[in-house]
Amino acid sequence: MEQRRTRSRMGSRRKVPMGSRRKVPMGSRRRIPPETGADRFGKGGHLVTAFDTRALGSWEQNVASLAGMLVHEVKNPLSTLSISTQLLLEDSTEPESPRQQRARRRLEVMRGEIARIEQIVDSFLHYTRLQVVEDGEVDLDRLLQELLSDNSEGLEQKGIRFHFQPNKGQVPIAGDAGLLRQAFLNLLRNAEQAMPEGGELIVRCRQEDGAEGALAVVELTDTGVGIPAEQLPRIFRPYFSSKEGGTGLGLPTTLQIVRLHGGNIRVESEAGQGSRFIVELPVVKGGVKGER
């Protein structure tokens, strides 16, 4: 039984070709050869569900900004709670009675939960403060090579085989190398978490012609658990996460960074088969296109 393929889009200055209907096989997981990894979602079987982040409205960014102000106000009393809990724990280092032991265990639980809230608050504040990028020329090929090299040991330990398919020449874009590295690291972590039992990851970088000039296109294709069709429009919304312990801010932060560089993200996925994240960035010199 086939699912209907969906592709959500909004009007944009630059149009992305829709292409033909593409299919992927259902059934057992199969290996993606390095030379054909980019075509994983293009052969026989059930239809892939796709999503274009242009479908996300600006109202979501406004809501995030308002929430950021609220979170900032929460940070001070949260810090007070953290310090007070730590002081109480220091006063009960050697509990004697069962009641004192129970109290200490509860304080330790409180400390852990407060630390988790602080992590969420810090991540959200970082997300809402992504407004300006530092201009500079970034070689996207080199950035991706260094990112994969730095994370190769961790991927191998988790049974993930990875392949990098660079462009034949440099792919220079104008932007902030630190922010771009963070964006692609988030996508790498997302693929890693989608393959808890190991799998294969293909990272491909290329340059192609777009309606408004040259585009740098980066594809990350994994053989992970995939994303259900009903979840695709929600994965870039702050605090949405299907992973236990996730903050739900990794993909929203990535989208914000890509948009600051005048780019876009598309996703193709099928539950149980894997996902492909496609990042498009304008190849320009002398300034960064996009929001400021």
Per-residue pLDDT of 189-247, as tens digits, reads 999 999 999 999 999 999 988 777 889 999 999 999 999 888 888 888 877 776 665 66
**Mean pLDDT of the 53-69 span:** 59
Residue 115, Cα to own-chain centre: how many angstroms? 23
Angle at 188 between CA 187 and CA 191, to 5 degrees: 85
The amino acid sitting at 187 is L
What does DSSP say about strands 23-24 and 46-47: parallel, antiparallel, or unpaired?
A: antiparallel
Mean pLDDT, to the nearest integer, of 140-145?
Answer: 94
Q: What is the pLDDT of residue 42?
A: 46
Residue 141: the pLDDT is 92
pLDDT band of residue 161 (cuts 50, 70, 90) is: very high
Secondary structure of residue 59 in the 3-state scheme:
helix
pTM exceeds 0.85 for this model: no
Q: Is the CATH number 1.10.490.10 carried by domain 23-56+132-282?
A: no
Question: Where are the strands (E) in the chain, listed by range?
Answer: 23-24, 46-47, 49-52, 137-139, 160-165, 172-174, 199-210, 213-222, 264-270, 274-282
Q: What percent of the chain has pLDDT over 70?
A: 68
Find the range with the poorest average confidence among 26-30, 147-151, 262-266.
26-30
Dump pLDDT digits (tens) for 172-182: 898 889 889 99
Residue 196 · residue 157 · CB < 8 Å: no
Using CA atoms of 33, 38, 42, 45 in order, give the dihedral in degrees to the nearest 10: 50
Closest CA to 92 of 82, 107, 78: 107
Q: Tell me, what's the pLDDT at 241? A: 73
Q: Which of 130-134, 137-141, 187-191 comes out lowest in average pLDDT?
A: 130-134
Where in the chain are the domains?
Answer: 23-56+132-282, 62-128
Gap between the Cα atoms of 258 and 236, Å rounded = 12
- pLDDT for res 60: 57
pLDDT value of position 96: 82
Residue 58, pLDDT > 70, answer no
In this structure, of 3-17, 104-118, 239-253, the range with the lowest mean pLDDT score is 3-17
